[in-house]
């Protein structure tokens, strides 16, 4: 755990330069706009430890799988959102000596991520080996208005000398991925060109054939007055640069403004890339840096108006929740149903930038409440459009009749994960995708989605479950063998309670939706039956039989659902009794020792109870929580939020707050010592859930929002915005009670502590404590 980020409600601030923190800071201070993003690498050269990262949404490479023992059904590749051309680079020479903070004496340093306005600012004072001191200010952002563009304003001022500055802005496409399986470079050059004030490089990915044109336009000023020095252009393979030499007096500022754009063949015809790149660069440079930044900040203001959470009395908690919301909004905007949310977003390479079940389980609730309905709908359509490949994936594993197994890891619907215990066994991901459909329709009442898309997905998943179980003659029940639950510290287990519960629920929900669609739109239903060859009577008979006769492991003595068969055979040493030197166990123990232990990586049984809390009384939830929480090591970023929500439901306010802090500042404090690989973007949605569903107690009950809030002891108040079926509400919880403002023109009825409250348009009410 690190503690070097200064607390500020709207900013992330690093004061002083510690090279050992640099890769962590590169993750934390990352920028993005849904189309592109980058780690907070320095503009000038840096020879110290760094992880270069510039990413273009949807552009990936199928890196050949690397395994020791190939098994039938293994994917041939791991799809990765790859490191793209470095567009932020600006080399600086001071009287011939390169400015490099790894080699200079850093006298002052401050890095600031302004979350309110969405930009990164860095100020430093450095002394070269020749004793020359310069002050630098660098401001940059990825525009959420011009979402294929970014801009940099880089100002350098000599402090104790007059001399020659050589400034070289460049585009460098000769990049690598740290996680390349075979140390391969993933790009080929297509063409490049220099212009009087910039240039571009166009490259094509190997194998997948995506093309990206990355270009720049530059302008120069001294003491804020535009200048036109002679520019010398240099080119190399996949590289262009504009070199400018000029005299700078002591105290005289020299500024380079660099406008850049990344245009992808995902969004433009290849033949049009160059022309459209030039048009984009002309447009953004024509606006000017300050206007571009102003419209960007205004767009952020509109976002914050709808999804800010305000915490009074705890600046650290306030900073943390805004950081999580900021990163989520940088990563995914919902404008394009071909895109999804990688676990690291635009902040690093780990997990390949691919889609996991995290989206459906954790991100969907956030976007449902804080964005337009179409945003979550597009996340669901992403999966619908990949249904054919999910069916193909199931066929590879021996399933038939249109059964679908969605991939654990994917970019285009093809399974990319290559660890057998995950690829073949962590099949609960199918259930999360079905649950997201349920969650979306419950929240939005968009039942048309079921007839148009949802039912087709549900039937394919239900078919998989009905084939994945087998009949146990010994138990006289259906069993689910050879699976891995969310707790990945158990592999190849039998009868994981969570997976089995999801399976039967999914079949039940599929039958419920079938009846709805059949009654509401018989023509669409008939067309679907014919399309997928669905024998409703025969297949639902099987579904019902499995539901009725499913085996779930249960311990009568402790009256808890067992995570899997044999779980109680393990030595039951609680986490509190583990020596501190053994934590985290995934870094200190052998995998064999972990598998034989009772320790739980993340919520497993409790994930199921969170999903299906309405199925169980409070005492059942309490018994399971009190049993499993002391055995959970929370070595997945996705774990604490579920525990926070359940603890809040059980009235355990202290533990709910403890879990919230753990998830909220996971990256800011580098809690798991892995932030240098990138931020935990999908778990950030869990932080929002911990506040809104945990402390706010928000649920959807019978088509209405319901709140059972409590105020953490350290807070004076907290408030959040919720969009729900055309209404926008602000909910504030304080010692005075629960205040609800209706910011829309629609009246709405909500439940507060189980009592119905009518909130009129543009009105507010207070439910006293």
Q: Which residues participate in catalysis according to the annotation?
A: 488
Structure tokens at 765: 């009410």
The DSSP H or E segment spanning 681 is: helix 681-689
Q: How far apart are CA 343 and CA 220, in angstroms?
A: 39
Structure tokens at 416: 């990319």
Closest listed residue to residue 169, CA positions, set 283, 54, 324, 44: 44
DSSP string, 283-322: HHHHH-HHHHHHHHHHHHHHHHHHH-EEEES-HHHHHHHH
Residue whose token pair is 């309110």 = 116
Q: What is the 3-state secondary structure (H, E, C) of 487-543?
A: CCCCCCECCCHHHHHHHHHHHHHHHHHHHHHHHHCHHHHHHHHHHHCCCHHHHHHHH
Q: How far apart are CA 354 and CA 483, in angstroms?
A: 22
Using a 10 angstrom Cβ sphere, with 0-12 exposed, 13-18 middle and 19 or more buried, the burial of residue 681 is buried
Q: How far apart are CA 113 and CA 525, in angstroms?
A: 51
Q: Which residues contact residue 418 at a Cβ distance below 8 angstroms, ignoring those fewer than 6 apart?
A: 65, 66, 67, 74, 75, 78
Q: How far apart are CA 650 and CA 652, in angstroms?
A: 6
- Residue 8: CB atoms within 10 A of its CB come to 17
Closest listed residue to residue 170, CA positions, set 208, 216, 230, 106: 216
Taken in order 476, 480, 482, 486, is the CA torsion positive or negative? negative
Show the CA angle centred on residue 63, arms to residues 61 and 69, nearest 5°. 155
Q: How far apart are CA 610 and CA 625, in angstroms?
A: 10
* Helix, coil or strand: residue 112: strand
Residue whose token pair is 């507060």 = 752
Q: Which residues contact residue 554 at a Cβ distance below 8 angstroms, ignoring those fewer than 6 apart?
A: 560, 561, 562
Closest listed residue to residue 238, CA positions, set 178, 187, 276: 187
Are the C-beta atoms of residues 394 and 406 closer than 8 Å to each other?
Answer: no
User: CA 588 → CA 461, 489, 582, distances in Å?
Assistant: 38, 14, 6
Structure tokens at 119: 């930009």
> 636-663 b/e with 16+ CB inside 10 Å = b?
bbbbbbbbbbbbbbbebbebbbebbbbb
């Amino acid at each position: 755990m690190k503690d070097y980020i200064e607390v500020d409600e709207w900013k992330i601030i690093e004061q002083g330069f510690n090279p050992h923190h640099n890769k962590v800071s590169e993750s934390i201070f990352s920028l993005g706009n849904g189309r592109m993003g980058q780690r907070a690498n320095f503009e000038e050269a840096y020879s110290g430890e760094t992880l270069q990262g510039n990413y273009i949404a949807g552009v990936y490479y199928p890196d050949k799988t690397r395994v020791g023992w190939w098994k039938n059904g293994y994917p041939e590749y791991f799809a990765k959102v790859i490191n793209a051309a470095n567009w932020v680079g600006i080399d600086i020479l001071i009287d011939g000596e390169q400015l490099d903070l790894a080699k200079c004496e850093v006298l002052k340093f401050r890095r600031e991520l302004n979350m309110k306005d969405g930009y990164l600012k860095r100020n430093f004072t450095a002394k070269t080996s020749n004793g020359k001191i310069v002050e630098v200010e660098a401001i940059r952002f990825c525009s959420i208005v011009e979402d294929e563009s970014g801009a940099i304003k880089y100002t350098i001022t000599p402090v104790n000398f007059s001399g020659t500055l050589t400034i070289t802005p460049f585009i460098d496409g000769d990049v690598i991925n740290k996680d390349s399986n075979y140390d391969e470079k993933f790009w080929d050059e297509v063409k490049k060109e220099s212009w009087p004030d910039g240039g571009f490089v166009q490259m094509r990915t190997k194998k997948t054939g995506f093309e990206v044109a990355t270009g720049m336009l530059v302008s120069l000023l001294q003491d804020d007055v535009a200048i036109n020095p002679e520019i010398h252009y240099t080119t190399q393979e996949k590289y262009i640069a504009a070199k400018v030499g000029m005299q700078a007096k002591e105290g005289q500022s020299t500024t380079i403004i660099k406008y850049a754009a990344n245009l992808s063949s995902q969004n433009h015809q290849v033949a049009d890339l160059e022309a459209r790149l030039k048009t984009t660069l002309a447009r953004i440079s024509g606006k000017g840096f300050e206007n571009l930044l102003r419209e960007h900040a205004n767009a952020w203001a509109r976002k914050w108006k709808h999804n800010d959470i305000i915490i009074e009395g705890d600046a650290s908690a306030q900073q943390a929740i805004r950081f999580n919301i900021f990163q989520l909004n940088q990563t995914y905007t919902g404008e394009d149903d071909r895109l999804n949310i990688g676990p690291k977003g635009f902040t690093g390479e780990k997990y390949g930038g691919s889609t996991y079940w995290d989206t459906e389980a954790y991100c969907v609730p956030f976007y449902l409440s804080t964005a337009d309905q179409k945003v979550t709908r597009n996340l669901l359509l992403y999966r619908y459009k990949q249904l054919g490949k999910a069916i193909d994936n199931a066929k590879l594993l021996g399933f038939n009749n249109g059964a679908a197994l969605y991939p654990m890891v994917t970019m285009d619907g093809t399974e990319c994960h290559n660890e057998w215990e995950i690829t073949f066994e962590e099949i609960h991901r199918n259930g999360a995708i079905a649950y997201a459909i349920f969650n979306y329709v419950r929240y939005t009442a968009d039942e048309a989605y079921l007839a148009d898309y949802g039912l087709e997905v549900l039937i394919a998943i239900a078919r998989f479950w009905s084939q994945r179980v087998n009949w146990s003659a010994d138990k006289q029940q259906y069993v689910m063998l050879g699976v891995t639950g969310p707790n990945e510290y158990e592999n190849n287990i039998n009868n994981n309670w969570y997976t089995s519960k999801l399976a039967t629920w999914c079949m039940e929900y599929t039958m419920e939706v079938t009846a709805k669609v059949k009654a509401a739109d018989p023509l669409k239903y008939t067309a679907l039956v014919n399309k997928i060859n669905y024998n409703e009577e025969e297949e639902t008979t099987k579904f019902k039989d499995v539901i009725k006769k499913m085996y779930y492991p249960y311990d009568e003595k402790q009256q808890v659902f067992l995570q899997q068969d044999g779980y109680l055979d393990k030595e039951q040493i609680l986490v509190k009794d583990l020596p501190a030197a053994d934590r985290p166990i995934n870094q200190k123990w052998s995998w064999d020792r972990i598998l034989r232990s009772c320790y739980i990586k993340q919520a497993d049984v409790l994930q199921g109870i969170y999903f299906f809390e309405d199925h169980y009384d409070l005492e059942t939830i309490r018994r399971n929580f009190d049993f499993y929480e002391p055995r959970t090591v929370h070595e997945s970023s996705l774990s604490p939020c579920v525990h926070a929500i359940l603890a809040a439901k059980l009235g355990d306010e202290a533990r709910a707050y403890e879990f919230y802090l753990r998830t909220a500042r996971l990256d800011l404090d580098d809690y798991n010592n892995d932030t240098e690989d990138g931020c935990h973007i999908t778990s950030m949605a869990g932080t929002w859930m911990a506040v809104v569903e945990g402390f706010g107690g928000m649920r959807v009950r019978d088509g209405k929002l319901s709140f059972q809030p409590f105020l953490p002891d350290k807070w004076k108040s907290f408030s959040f915005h919720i969009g729900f079926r055309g209404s926008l509400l602000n909910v504030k919880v304080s010692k005075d009670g629960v205040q609800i403002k209706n910011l829309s023109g629609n009246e709405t009825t909500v439940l507060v502590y189980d009592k119905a409250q009518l909130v009129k348009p543009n009105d507010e009410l207070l439910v006293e404590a």
